[in-house]
Every structure is written in structure tokens, then in C-alpha cells.
């Protein structure tokens, strides 16, 4: 007679979720600048959006090029609802406004999803791209709803304050986003532990077998997309509150490509991958974007490196170290890692110097040839900074090769030890 294994309380899981909540509460108290608060709010919205995307890509094996349709339309419905609320057309608390975005996500998930999920693989990807372009084109065809090129703006501060909450100050908006992010993260994680969530994995891995155990693969994909659309719509609603403006960009291909990159950089194969991806992506776009015009180049390069050398994303890099830590073998990696990091810094310094010099030379070389980089001020029309940058780049590349060979050897030893231990 078979017996069931029961796990009364998963303490580790509670600790992870509790820790995440604590971090979300404490972060704005530590980093109090307005810029950091904006960054954290963007990360919160991005986490919901990317996790909803990963329900398709990671959980259901659906590569979508048009996911911004659901978040964008959610944002548009939210912005119109907010404007109507402020005019007194109906009463609805701003705190729950993302739900309107979520419902819009469901509605369009049902409409578009039924068609897109009929097929999987490349066909699905192509249809999703087509629908994305179609909706983006609609933004110019229906300016009454989409607001034309200027978009639709709103004011999130409406009605009487409730317990002092007006959503005027950024900190209040941050905590609203953080609260929604935590609830959505928990709900999306819970979804992975349901029959539909598991069958989405089954359809991703082997759609034929899934059909022969009684499941309509089209229906599994369709329901997954509708639920994913709901969460994307919530992200759209929060984005509307955060920025107080919604433009055609919200439904555009760039937004769809952004969420794909976010998820891939973080790691589509892991639930927490898109969370990591959101932190990296928002940091690259906002923080690096504030520092240099070349941010998109660096983001593209990072994406390329991830695709080539860590296709499982940052999450996979973390996950691959778990058995090493458990076997207490990390000490074998510290030295090679330190060498690789040092070499990487030299390589990165060379690359950044060269890219920034080229940018400055191309854009302002004729009018303002002086630039400051890493606290050094120099003339980009002079040959020395070019030579130093190229030197750092080539030197960094050469020593990186040696350093990464050492990392490779250390890993080979560790794998050998782990295999021996498990045998």
C-alpha cells in the first residue's frame, strides 16, 4: 500500500517569502533618495510584468513577442478608469485600480489568446508578433482611446485621503506597488503548484503526451495566457498610477522585447529568474541610462553574453552553485573567481572606455572634445586615451582567457568530486 509523504510546514519557503516582504518594506527606508524610490517602483512593476511573461515562456513554453499588448491595454483601461473616477463617474479606490487593468488583461487575453494559442512554437511567436503590431497600429487609428502620440495623462491624487494615503508622495506609490508585487508574486508562484500550472509544464515539455493523458493542449495554453494577461494587466495598472501617463509605447514592440530580455536575463527556467531579471534590466535602463547614452549597447551586450554563456540566466548561475555550497566546495572557486573578476574589471574598463570615447567622439568630438571618464579628464581627439582603452581591452581579454581557464579547471574538479560523492 502506497503511503503519502506529508510536509507539514515548508519553513524555507516561509523564510524566503518573509525575507522578500521584509526587503521590500525596508529598502526605501535605507535608500531614501527620490531616484532610488523611482527605481524601486519600476522594479516592482517590472517584476509583476516579467513573472506574468514567464508564465508563458518559462512555464508554458510560449515565446511571445507581443506581451506588452496585455499590460499596455491594462494601463489604458486603468488610465481611463482613473480619469472617470476623478470626474465622479463612479467610485473605485485607487488602491484597487490595478484590478481594472487585470480585468482588461483577461478580456484581451480571451480575445487574442484564443487565436494565438491554437498553435505553439514558431507559429505562436509569429502570431503574437502580428497581434502586437496590430494593437500598436490601433493606437494611431483610435486616438480617442489611445490619446494619439501624446498618450493619455491622469492624476492619481483623487478624492479624500484615506488614513492619510493620497498616493501623492512617491513613497506611498512605492508601497502600493510593493504590496501588489508581493501579492502577485505569491499568486503566480501558487499557480505553478496547481493542476493547470503543472499541465502547462507538461504541454511545454511534451504536448503530444499531454494530449494522450486527456489534456487539450490548446485549452491549457489559452488558460495560461489569459491568467498571464491578468497579471500583465495589473502591471499595466500600476504603471499607470506610477507614471500618471500611458502612451502607445506601452503596447509597443519595444516593451514586448524588453520583457523578453528581462525574463531571459533573469532566467526563464526558474520562478525567481524574472525577479532577478527585473532588477538587472531596470538598473541597466534607468541607472546606467542616467549615466551614459550607450546604455542600450551595454544592455544588448549583456543579453548577448547571457544567451551565449549562461542561457539559463542569472538564476541558473546561482542555482549551479547550490550543490557546491552544500558540499562545502566553494573554497575551491574563490581564488579562480577572484582572478576572473579582476580580469573582468580590466576588460570591462577597456570596453567601457572605448565605447564611451567613440560615443563622445561621434556626438561631440567636433565641439567639445574633452570628456571625463572614471575621474580622468582627457581629449578624445588625442591618441593616448584610445591607446589606453584598446590596451585595457586587449590586456583584459588576454588575462581573462587565463583566468576563465582556471575557473573551468576548478569546476571540472568540483564536478568530478560531486559525481564521486553521488556514486
Partner 1 sequence: MSTAIELKAVTKSFGNTEIIRGVDLAIPQGERHAIIGPNGAGKSTLFNLISGRYPVSGGQIELNGESIIGLKPFEINRKGLSRSFQVTNIFQRMSVFENIRCAVLWSLGYKYSFWHRLGGLKDANLRAEEVMESIGLKQRRDTSAGVLSYAEQRALEIGVTIAGGAEVILLDEPTAGMSRTETADAVELIRKVSKGKTLIMVEHDMGVVFDLADKISVLVYGEVIASDKPENIRGNKAVQEAYLGTEAH
Residues in contact with partner 1 by CB under 8 A are 1-4, 7, 190-191, 193-199, 201-202, 205-206, 208-217, 219-220, 223, 227
Q: In the bound complex, what is the minimum distance in angstroms from residue 150's beta carbon to partner 1?
A: 39
- Between 185 and 343, name the residue whose CB sits nearer to partner 1: 185
- Between 2 and 308, name the residue whose CB sits nearer to partner 1: 2
Q: In the bound complex, what is the minimum distance in angstroms from residue 238's beta carbon to partner 1?
A: 22
Cα distances from 375 to residues 366, 392, 417, in angstroms, run: 22, 16, 46
Compute how many other C-beta atoms are within 10 angstroms of the C-beta atom of residue 226: 21
- Between 3 and 328, name the residue whose CB sits nearer to partner 1: 3
d(CA 184, CA 48): 7
- In the numeric block, the cell 538564476 is attached to 315
Strand partners, 379: 370
At how many degrees (to 10) do helices 121-141 and 253-266 cross? 140
- Between 9 and 30, name the residue whose CB sits nearer to partner 1: 9
- Between 1 and 11, name the residue whose CB sits nearer to partner 1: 1
- Between 198 and 401, name the residue whose CB sits nearer to partner 1: 198
Q: In the bound complex, what is the minimum distance in angstroms from residue 263's beta carbon to partner 1?
A: 18
Q: In the bound complex, what is the minimum distance in angstroms from residue 6's beta carbon to partner 1?
A: 9
- Between 75 and 200, name the residue whose CB sits nearer to partner 1: 200
Compute how many other C-beta atoms are within 10 angstroms of the C-beta atom of residue 266: 30
- Between 208 and 375, name the residue whose CB sits nearer to partner 1: 208
Q: In the bound complex, what is the minimum distance in angstroms from residue 117's beta carbon to partner 1?
A: 13
Q: In the bound complex, what is the minimum distance in angstroms from residue 198's beta carbon to partner 1?
A: 6
- Between 13 and 416, name the residue whose CB sits nearer to partner 1: 13
- Between 377 and 422, name the residue whose CB sits nearer to partner 1: 422
Half-sphere exposure for 293 (CA within 13 Å, toward CB): 10
Q: In the bound complex, what is the minimum distance in angstroms from residue 90's beta carbon to partner 1?
A: 29
- Between 138 and 196, name the residue whose CB sits nearer to partner 1: 196
d(CA 172, CA 182): 15
Q: In the bound complex, what is the minimum distance in angstroms from residue 202's beta carbon to partner 1?
A: 5
Q: In the bound complex, what is the minimum distance in angstroms from residue 52's beta carbon to partner 1?
A: 14
Closest CA to 41 of 180, 184, 164: 180
Strands 370-373 and 376-379: antiparallel
Q: In the bound complex, what is the minimum distance in angstroms from residue 403's beta carbon to partner 1?
A: 33
Q: In the bound complex, what is the minimum distance in angstroms from residue 3's beta carbon to partner 1?
A: 7
Amino acid at each position: 500500500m502506497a503511503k503519502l509523504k506529508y510536509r507539514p510546514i515548508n519553513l524555507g519557503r516561509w523564510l524566503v517569502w518573509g525575507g522578500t516582504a521584509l526587503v521590500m518594506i525596508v529598502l526605501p527606508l535605507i535608500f531614501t533618495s527620490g531616484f532610488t524610490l523611482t527605481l524601486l517602483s519600476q522594479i516592482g512593476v517590472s517584476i509583476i510584468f516579467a513573472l506574468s511573461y514567464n508564465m508563458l515562456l518559462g512555464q508554458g513554453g510560449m515565446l511571445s513577442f507581443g506581451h506588452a499588448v496585455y499590460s499596455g491595454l491594462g494601463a489604458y483601461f486603468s488610465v481611463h478608469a482613473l480619469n472617470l473616477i476623478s470626474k465622479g463617474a463612479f467610485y473605485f479606490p485607487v488602491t484597487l485600480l490595478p484590478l481594472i487593468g487585470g480585468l482588461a488583461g483577461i478580456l484581451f487575453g480571451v480575445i487574442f489568446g484564443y487565436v494565438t494559442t491554437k498553435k505553439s512554437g514558431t507559429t505562436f511567436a509569429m502570431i503574437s508578433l502580428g497581434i502586437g503590431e496590430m494593437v500598436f497600429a490601433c493606437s494611431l487609428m483610435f486616438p480617442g482611446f489611445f490619446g494619439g502620440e501624446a498618450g493619455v495623462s491622469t492624476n492619481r491624487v483623487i478624492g479624500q485621503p484615506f488614513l492619510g494615503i493620497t498616493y501623492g508622495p512617491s513613497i506611498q506609490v512605492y508601497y502600493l506597488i510593493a504590496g501588489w508585487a508581493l501579492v502577485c508574486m505569491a499568486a503566480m508562484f501558487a499557480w505553478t503548484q496547481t493542476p493547470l500550472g503543472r499541465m502547462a509544464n507538461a504541454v511545454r515539455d511534451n504536448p503530444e503526451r499531454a494530449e494522450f493523458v486527456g489534456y487539450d493542449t490548446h485549452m491549457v495554453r489559452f488558460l495560461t495566457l489569459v491568467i498571464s494577461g491578468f497579471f500583465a494587466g495589473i502591471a499595466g495598472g500600476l504603471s499607470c498610477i506610477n507614471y500618471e501617463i500611458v502612451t502607445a509605447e506601452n503596447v509597443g514592440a519595444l516593451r514586448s522585447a524588453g520583457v523578453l530580455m528581462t525574463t531571459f536575463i533573469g532566467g526563464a527556467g526558474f520562478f525567481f529568474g524574472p525577479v532577478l531579471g527585473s532588477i538587472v534590466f531596470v538598473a541597466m535602463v534607468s541607472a546606467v541610462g542616467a549615466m551614459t547614452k550607450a546604455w542600450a549597447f551595454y544592455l544588448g551586450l549583456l543579453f548577448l553574453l547571457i544567451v551565449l554563456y549562461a542561457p539559463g540566466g542569472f538564476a541558473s548561475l546561482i542555482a549551479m552553485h547550490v550543490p557546491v555550497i552544500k558540499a562545502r566546495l566553494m573554497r575551491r572557486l574563490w581564488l579562480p573567481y577572484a582572478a576572473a573578476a579582476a580580469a573582468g574589471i580590466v576588460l570591462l574598463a577597456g570596453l567601457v572606455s572605448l565605447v564611451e570615447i567613440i560615443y563622445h567622439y561621434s556626438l561631440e568630438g567636433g565641439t567639445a572634445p574633452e570628456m571625463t571618464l572614471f575621474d580622468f579628464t582627457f581629449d578624445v581627439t588625442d591618441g593616448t586615451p584610445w591607446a589606453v582603452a584598446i590596451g585595457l581591452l586587449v590586456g583584459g581579454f588576454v588575462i581573462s582567457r587565463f583566468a576563465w581557464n582556471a575557473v573551468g579547471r576548478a569546476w571540472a574538479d568540483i564536478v568530478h568530486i560531486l559525481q564521486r560523492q553521488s556514486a
